[in-house]
Amino acid sequence: MSFSERKPFPSALATAGTMASVQIDAALDGTSGPIAAAMMYASQGGKGLRAFLVLETARLHHIAPLAAAPAAGAIEAIQAYSLVHDDLPCMDDDDLRRGRPTVHRKWDEATAVLAGDALQTLAFELVAQTDCPDAGRLDLMTSLARAAGIRGMVGGQALDIAAETADAPLSLDEIITLQDGKTGALIQWSAMAGPRMAQADTGALETYARNLGLAFQIADDILDVEGDVATLGKAVGKDANAGKATFVSLLGLDGAKQRAQGLVDAACDALTVYGDEAETLREAARFVISRKS
């Protein structure tokens, strides 16, 4: 089995972020007004991890970067929409995102709602442009709808909101279920995009992504305790102040770090089928729990 050239993680991540941004900017070319401006603003400044997972898993399945680029743009558009809505006063009520004022603070709430709506629909326009067989493209679109909707991210967000007024804090198993949807669903879609485009088996990458998604969220919980606003680009300590159950509150700081490391180890082990060609994905897993933002 021959593979295209593998790049080290920092380079691959930067390339993915750029390619996703190019896709979104090109799709918005010719638009104007506050909604379009807010969409572009919201899609800037992210890490590009999900776009990276799309492009890297496409590479493992012999799919050229330009062919997979629209799918990378699509997942970053969905991620941007989710953050715009998550920051609204009726949700998490945040003033800062990626080191800048949130969309509803820079413009207003109505603009933020509409910009988020438009980013969501733009994602499906982009994923429809992915250059792969029709069956793979249909699989991408259907699975993205599920990952972003009530069975995935939206469902997880609903559980998170309900937990704020619940009579008792969530258990560890309940938090895992919540975060598997809220955070994990889009990460899982991203990591399975490559085999879906190629209509190949998704099993190894599904296991990788499920462990990666939980490790990512545990790292977020840790950063909410240990991080600082200047580095994170968003508020810290909100979960503790709100009395929310998190991986840190249930496992303790050291326990959460140990759990995250175990999840990363499991994610890396799942990639055995790809051999050394999956090393960039292993680097990504290690990055998830060592990042500072």
Sequential pLDDT tens for the chain (293 residues): 345 789 999 999 999 999 999 999 999 999 999 999 999 999 999 999 999 999 999 999 999 999 999 999 999 999 999 999 999 999 999 999 999 999 999 999 999 999 999 999 999 999 999 999 999 999 999 999 999 999 999 999 999 999 988 988 899 999 999 999 999 999 999 999 999 999 999 999 999 999 999 999 999 999 999 988 877 777 777 776 677 889 999 999 999 999 999 999 999 999 999 999 999 999 999 999 999 88
CB 8 within 8 A of CB 280: yes
Q: How is residue 277 annotated by DSSP?
A: G
At which residue do the structure tokens 């879609």 appear?
A: 189
pLDDT value, residue 2: 44
Q: Give pLDDT, residue 238.
A: 72
CA distance 269 to 257: 18
| 215 touches 289 (CB < 8 A) | yes
pLDDT of residue 1: 38
Nearest to 285 by CA among 98, 56, 3, 2: 56
- 100: which strand partners? 97
The CA distances from residue 126 to 20, 25, 54, 189, 197, in Å, are 10, 11, 13, 15, 14
Nearest to 53 by CA among 217, 165, 272, 206: 206
Which residues have a Cβ under 8 Å from the Cβ of 170 and sit 6 or more positions away? 163, 178, 245
Alpha helices in 34-64 (DSSP H): 34-42, 49-60
**β-pair partners for 96:** 101
- Quick one: tokens of 274? 């790809």
Main-chain dihedrals φ then ψ at residue 100, nearest 5 degrees: -135, 165
Specify whether the CB–CB gap between 204 and 155 falls below 8 A: no
Q: Which of 57, 53, 51, 56 has the alpha carbon at shortest distance from 23?
A: 51
Domains defined along the chain, listed by start = 9-290 (1.10.600.10)
176: which 2 tokens? 């895992």
Angle at 246 between CA 85 and CA 256, to 5 degrees: 125
Q: How far apart are the first and last CA of the chain?
A: 37
Amino acid at 51: A
